[in-house]
Homo-oligomer: A and B are copies of this chain.
């Protein structure tokens, strides 16, 4: 019997090096997490190209943005993908008929309300992903319940667990799995977890989720160049919904790069060539316009288990003094 804090990988391991697990689903959140870099100001052509690329690749889900209420965040300050109105989505990608790609949107607790979610049969959206902090769980459960009743697949993405005690995480998970939610996400919000911690947490999430017939997903950040490594570790241990973004596009240090993940997965349905084409046509030019990806400043917030906002500010202001930045982070924590 493994002790607390010890993870037996032999016991946990699912699948082998050469086979694949058909339960694995890849969820691309390029537009949603990338939207946090450019305030959701993507051109229609870009979003359309992501959509067609994911279909050609046989990716399972595309998270196309957030479904924020316009009263919560002023629409003059953000692009349309922060609101994901039905008409906007359909104008850009059509009605998504005759494809296996499912469409997801993220609902932030405090910024998305029941009235923002229309009945499933009036919407192109297949999945509502509810993001919440641990103190927002009651509100998240209400929204999940509502979205489920309306006919959607749902996930609960519990954020910033690296700031929570293990006991609190377990209690939160027990509440979440008692809802009609389909997928519970392990989220490394600050890119602070090492792989052995991810294995330990995966075990906890799986035990609690599977007891109620739920599955577990993973969403990583690349502050310590571990987003992909942690994604692989958690999937080996049994996680089945895996988030990634093209070129790792995402806030701060970005996310697990889809091209790395597709290279690891053995399911022959996934194709990398359309992705390489998209990267050369759209990501390489975008890298000249906006900044994301590994940087010493993001590494430091990751190592110190802090929200990346101070690092984002440091980089936006073209900071060059890493020592000073590091000292400021340490001061804050004393």
Contacts and interface: CB of A to CB of B under 8 A. Distances in A.
A194 B260 CA distance: 11
Interface in A188-202: 194-197, 199
A236 B299 contact: no
B224 A276 contact: no
Given A195-B233, A229-B195, A272-B326, A13 B6 contact: yes
Given A260-B225, A280-B320, A322-B280, A17 B2 contact: no
A323 to B, nearest CB: 5
A259 interface: yes
Interface residues of A, number: 47
Contact of A225 (B8, B194, B199, B229): B229
Contacts of A299: 259-260, 263
Interface string A269-304: 000110011011000100000000010100100010
Given A228-B224, A228-B226, A232-B194, A276 B10 contact: no
Nearest to A228: B225
Contact of A279 (B8, B227, B257, B296): B296
A19 interface: no
Contacts of A296: 259, 276, 279
A7 interface: yes
A165 interface: no
Given A10-B8, A224-B228, A226-B228, A196 B17 contact: yes
Interface string A4-19: 0111111001001100
Given A17-B5, A233-B195, A321 B280 contact: yes
A231 B273 CA distance: 30
Given A194-B232, A225-B229, A264-B194, A323 B8 contact: no
10 contacts: A8-B10, A9-B199, A13-B196, A195-B233, A224-B260, A225-B260, A273-B323, A276-B322, A276-B326, A280-B321
Given A9-B9, A195-B233, 7 more contacts: A7-B10, A13-B196, A222-B225, A229-B229, A277-B322, A277-B323, A280-B322
